[in-house]
DNA sequence: CTGTTAGCGCGTTCAA
DNA sequence: TTGAACGCGCTAACAG
């Protein structure tokens, strides 16, 4: 690998000059620039990022922490982040935290040793304080922590949940249950709240219609089986995420309940899996890709010290009507 | 951030000595070591990887190139790679190539600038020659290129396809079709070959039973719709991957063909999506996680200049019987 | 406009 | 067993 020194010799100039044309910093005579460029081409020189990083303290590398890339919500997010980063000349390091606060902190430490420029935390369980201590630019994605100083992007969980529930009502459902997500997660709370906003005042509502879940399919299947056994007159289910909605669908299929005629189901997320089940899942879709891309853009701005016009983005969600609800 | 110099001052020794205890290289008096360790702790010093990399030419970072992390086969692979890398103190950079040879090459160049230690290429379209030119350790995963000098891990595609087809036969299927993968991919060829090995000599076989596909669901649905219309007596389908198998299942559902009674389906891969459809997909499962983990281990060995006992691993596949085939 | 030189933080001879 | 000093490749003053 040729170095900047080789180039400077071949071009008959100093390394500083080469550095200048490389970084478009400072003045360089046109003629000189041409010579340098020619030398660069001839040696097929490419600057060494590590050396540059050492003096710069900038690596053009960011970290993306997800709970588990295997969880169907995150690949699309990761894709979006990577796409944008790539576009701006950044490289992205992937980390799985398994929802463990410890692993997450530890990972960030490792990344800091490597002079990482910034971090995107998807679905973190960290507190705002802990995040501040990192000392590197951070954007938080999805399951937000509560803070008005940390840049964040989410979707309109509560409003989306309301809309989904209203939709079920409009479909003619007269007893709607909710499979809620894990208690520690803010977004699970918000979605549950949205559901309650709509149904709490109805004459048929009672707390037994809200069932605890963990965002996973298997558990949701079992829970739904039990739920439908106890309350056979339930004719609508709003699930806190798509995986649980699919779990509910599975339960209905096991019980031979016809979907969507006897039971309508609406999920939340808009992951691809909703399209492979049959009937296909009606869902309140988050703009997953957009969320990732936006977070990436925000982070880049922070890294490059540009001002953020908004610190907190709450993106719109959109109902996608498919087979698990009736056409109206 | 404290530097090695700060530590050396506090401990009253030279930076060389600190370096020695840090890397367990050379002799250090026990007493001296204690002093150094104490200073390190006191300053909560942690070595700067970038500086270390510059003199080392080693970054403890590897690149993982996948066609698209959004494709359900790859998250599990990525997870495995990341887990192992993490375990050995490496960090992994994720890249999506979109199957483009150009993007892939370009990405590797970027990574080389960053002194990446090695690369795992999942499903590459590069030739052996091109890979050699990289000049960094490489392990190729999944859709192998043909070369006996590049370390590689795959699964027993041909044998697995045979077994899957035989299984369908044993189920009593009397006319089995095959949805094959893209022509450029070696593994698609191998799986198709395996299918042919079994059925070519039967009296019912004819080339019309092999249908071209692209490993995607939508196209497989359409293809299957057409296929079943043309040959209504098909009672078994072996798909080149799970997504196409799910597409076939969807086609059957649309046509109201009862699965598995009238039509049995077997996929290939063992991705999680096979478990969310109903009936659940019978599939010839690859040990995806193991493949990723193995590739990661191989790469680490190469990086650390340890000898590889085997250059080419072909892991066993395993039939997972689920709902799209009858119980025998 | 251009060159010299001092860091960036750490590893590694080479002497002592 | 320890320390001084140079090199890794590049950026950024500071002089000219």
pLDDT in tens, A103-139: 999 999 899 989 899 999 998 878 888 888 888 999 9
Which tokens hold the place of A12? Answer: 């008959």
B278/A273 Cβ within 8 A: no
| B228 and B141 part of one domain | no
Q: Which residue is nearest to nucleotide C5 (CA to C1')?
A: A16
What does the alpha-carbon distance between residue B62 and residue B59 come to, in Å, rounded to a whole number? 8
Residue B187 and residue B276 in one domain: yes
pLDDT score for B10:
93
What is the Cα B319 distance to its own chain's centre? 19
Query: CATH number of the domain that B130 lies in?
Result: 3.40.50.2300
Which secondary structure element, helix H or strand E, spans residue B78, and what is its range?
helix B74-87
> What are the phi and psi torsion angles at A57 (to 5°)?
60, 40
Residues B187-207: b if buried by 16+ CB within 10 A, e if exposed? bbbbbbebbbebbeeeeebee
Q: What is the model's pLDDT at position A144?
A: 66
Cβ–Cβ of A115/B49 closer than 8 Å? yes
Chain B contact for A231, CB < 8 A? no
Looking at every residue in chain A, the average pLDDT score rounds to 94
Helices A4-11, A30-43: axis angle to 10 degrees equals 120
Dist CA B281 CA B238 (whole Å): 11
The distance from CA A236 to its chain's CA centroid, rounded to whole angstroms, is 28
User: Cα B303 from chain centroid?
Assistant: 19
On whether residue B193 sits in a domain, the answer given is yes
Residues near A236 by Cβ (< 8 Å), separated by ≥ 6? A168, A169, A171, A173, A174, A175, A176, A177, A263, A264, A265, A266
B314, pLDDT greater than 90: yes
Residues B164 and B269 in one domain: yes
- Does A327 score more than 80 pLDDT? no
- Is the Cβ atom of B28 within 7 Å of strand D at any atom? yes
For residue B78, the number of C-alpha atoms closer than 13 Å in the C-beta half-sphere is 31
Question: A112-126, A164-178, A281-295: which has the minimum mean pLDDT?
Answer: A112-126
Which nucleotide has the least CA–C1' distance to A57?
C8
Specify whether B181 is located in the same domain as B281. Answer: yes
- Looking at B31, B47, B63, the residue that finishes a domain is B47
Token digits of residue A207: 């707390």
Number of structural domains in chain A: 3
Q: How far apart are CA B79 and CA B247, in angstroms?
A: 26
Chosen for mutation from B64, B91, B111 (greatest number of chain A CBs closer than 10 Å) is B91
Question: Cβ–Cβ contacts within 10 Å for residue B258, how many?
Answer: 11
Rounded to whole angstroms, the distance from the CA of residue A114 to the C1' of nucleotide D4 is 28
Strands, sheet with A210-212, edge to edge from the N-terminal-most edge strand: A210-212, A176-180, A236-239, A264-269, A282-285, A318-320
Give tens-digit pLDDT for B42-73. Answer: 999 999 999 999 998 999 999 999 999 999 99
The predicted structure's pLDDT at residue B96? 96
For residue A124, the model assigns a pLDDT of: 80
The lowest-confidence range among A153-162, A228-237, B1-10, B238-247 is B1-10
Is B320 part of a structural domain of the chain?
no
Q: Is residue B325 part of a domain?
A: no
Same domain, yes or no: A36 and A94: no
Give how far Cα A179 sits from Cα of A193, A278, B4, B31, B198, Å.
Answer: 12, 20, 54, 62, 47
B175 and B213, same domain (yes or no): yes
Q: Which nucleotide is the nearest neighbour of B113, by CA and C1'?
A: D9
- Name the band, by pLDDT with cuts 50, 70 and 90, for residue B148: confident
d(CA A300, CA B162): 50
B48: contact with A, CB 8 A cutoff: yes
Cα B281 to chain centroid distance, Å, stands at: 21
Using the predicted structure, report yes or no on whether residue A145 has a pLDDT greater than 80: no
Whose structure tokens read 């039973």?
B209
Q: Say whether pLDDT at A310 is over 90.
A: yes
CATH number at residue A34: 1.10.260.40
Q: What is the bridge-based pairing of β-strands A138-141 and A152-155?
A: parallel
- Tell me the chain A residues in contact with residue B135 when contact means C-beta distances shorter than 8 Å: none
Distances (CA, A) of B172 to B168, B217, B283: 7, 26, 17
> Is A328 a domain residue?
no
Residue A101 has pLDDT above 80, yes or no: yes
pLDDT band at residue B199, thresholds of 50, 70 and 90?
A: very high
If you write DSSP's letter for every residue of A114-170 in order, what string do you get? Answer: TT--EEEEES----HHHHHHT-S-EEEESS--S-SSS-EEEE-HHHHHHHHHHHHHH
Domain assignment present for B105:
yes
pLDDT score for A300:
96
Q: Are residues B145 and B239 in the same domain?
A: no
Label residue A261 left, alpha or beta by phi (over 0 means left) and psi (-120 to 50 means alpha). alpha
- Do B73 and B123 share a domain, yes or no? yes
A91 contacts B79? CB cut-off 8 A: no
Structure tokens at A95: 């980390």
Q: Is B102 part of the contact surface with chain A (CB cutoff 8 Å)?
A: no
pLDDT for B56? 87
- Option in A59, A94, A272 nearest B92 (CB): A94
According to the model, what pLDDT value does residue A52 have?
Answer: 94
Number of Cβ atoms within 10 Å of the Cβ of A31: 8
Could you report the per-residue pLDDT of B60-113, keeping only the tens digit for each?
999 999 999 999 999 999 999 999 999 999 999 999 999 898 999 999 989 988
Is the distance between the Cβ of B56 and the closest atom of strand C smaller than 7 Å?
yes
Q: Is the CB of B20 under 7 A from strand C?
A: yes
Q: What is the pTM of this model?
A: 0.94
Residues B20-31: tens digit of each pLDDT: 999 998 888 999
Instruction: Report the residue from A49, A94, A276 with minimal CB separation from B78.
Output: A94
- Rounded CA-CA distance A274/A267 in Å is 8
Q: Given pLDDT bands bounded at 50, 70 and 90, which one contains residue B142?
A: confident
Residue B94 structural domain: 49-155+288-315
Q: What is the pLDDT of residues B278-293, one digit of tens each?
A: 999 999 999 999 999 9
| Min Cα separation A282/chain B (Å) | 15
Q: CB-based contact (8 Å) between A96 and chain B?
A: yes
Minimum-distance nucleotide, CA of A50 to C1': D9
Model pLDDT, residue B328: 63
pLDDT digits 0-9 by tens, A254-283 = 999 999 999 999 999 999 999 999 999 999
Are A265 and A191 found together in one domain? Answer: yes
Nearest CB to B79 within list A46, A70, A114? A70
Are A170 and A144 contained in the same domain? no
CA nearest neighbour of A100 among A123, A118, A120: A123
**CB within 8 Å: B74 and A70:** no
Report the nearest residue to nucleotide D7, CA vs C1'.
B55
- Secondary structure letter of residue A74 according to DSSP: H
C-alpha A137: how far from chain center: 17
DSSP for B99-153, written as a single string? T-HHHHHHHHHHHHHTT--EEEEES----HHHHHHT-S-EEEESSPPS-SSS-EE
| Tokens describing residue A325 | 């609800």
Q: Is residue A328 very low, low, confident or very high in pLDDT (cuts 50, 70, 90)?
A: low
Q: For residue A241, give both structure tokens.
A: 């995420």
| Sequence-ordered list of residues with C-beta below 8 angstroms from that of B287, at least 6 positions apart, any chain | B155, B315, B316, B317, B318
Residue of A nearest to B1 (CA): A113
Cα separation, B192 vs B181, in Å, equals 8
Judgement on whether residues A174 and A264 belong to the same structural domain of the protein:
yes
State residue A185's pLDDT score: 87
Rounded to the nearest 10 degrees, how much is the dihedral formed by the CA atoms of A222, A227, A228, A234?
-140
pLDDT of residue B124: 80
Average per-residue pLDDT for chain B: 94
Helix B217-230 and helix B242-255: axis angle, to 10°?
50
Q: Are residues A245 and A298 in the same domain?
A: no
CA B78 – CA A326 distance, rounded (Å): 38
Would the Cβ of A32 be found within 7 angstroms of any atom in strand C? yes
In a domain, B321, yes or no: no
Instruction: Indicate the residue of B51, B91, B93 with minimum beta-carbon distance to A54.
Output: B51
Q: Is residue B323 part of a domain?
A: no
Instruction: Kindly state whether residue A320 falls inside one of the protein's structural domains.
Output: no
Residues in CB range of B293: below 8 A, 6 or more apart:
B80, B81, B83, B84
Nearest CA in chain A to B245: A276
- With vertex at residue B268, the alpha carbon angle to CA B263 and CA B269, rounded to the nearest 5 degrees, is 140
Q: Write out chain A residues lying below 8 Å of B53, CB-based.
A: 50
CA dist B69 and B292 (Å) reads 14
Q: Which residue is closest, via its CA, to the C1' of D2?
A: B17
């Amino acid at each position: 690998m040729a170095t900047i020194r080789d180039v400077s010799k071949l071009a008959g100039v100093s390394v500083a000059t080469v550095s200048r044309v490389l970084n478009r910093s400072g003045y360089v005579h046109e003629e000189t620039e041409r010579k340098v460029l020619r030398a660069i081409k001839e040696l097929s020189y490419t600057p060494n990022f590590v050396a540059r990083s050492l003096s710069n303290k900038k690596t053009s590398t960011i970290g993306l922490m997800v709970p588990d890339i295997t969880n169907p919500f995150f690949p699309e997010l990761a894709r979006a982040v990577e796409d944008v980063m790539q576009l701006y000349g950044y490289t992205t390091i992937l980390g799985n935290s398994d929802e463990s606060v410890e692993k997450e902190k530890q990972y960030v430490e490792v990344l800091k040793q490597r002079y990482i420029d910034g971090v995107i935390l998807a679905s973190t369980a960290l507190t705002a304080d802990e995040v501040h201590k990192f000392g590197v630019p951070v954007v938080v994605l999805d399951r937000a922590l509560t803070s008005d100083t940390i840049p964040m992007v989410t979707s309109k969980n509560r409003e989306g949940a309301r809309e989904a529930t209203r939709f079920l009502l409009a479909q003619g459902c007269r007893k709607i249950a909710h499979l809620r997500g894990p208690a520690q997660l803010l977004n699970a709370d918000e979605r549950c709240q949205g559901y309650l906003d709509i149904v709490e005042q109805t004459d048929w509502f009672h707390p037994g219609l809200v069932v605890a879940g963990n965002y996973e399919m298997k558990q949701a299947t079992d829970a739904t089986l039990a739920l439908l056994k106890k309350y056979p007159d339930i004719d609508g289910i709003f699930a806190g995420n798509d995986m649980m909605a699919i779990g509910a669908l599975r339960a209905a299929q096991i019980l031979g309940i016809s979907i969507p005629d006897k039971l309508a189901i609406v999920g939340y997320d808009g992951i691809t899996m909703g399209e492979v089940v049959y009937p296909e899942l009606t869902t309140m879709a988050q703009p997953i890709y957009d969320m990732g891309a936006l977070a990436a853009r925000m982070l880049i701005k922070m890294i490059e010290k540009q001002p953020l016009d908004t610190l907190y983005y709450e993106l719109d969600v959109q109902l996608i009507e498919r087979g698990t609800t009736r056409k109206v």
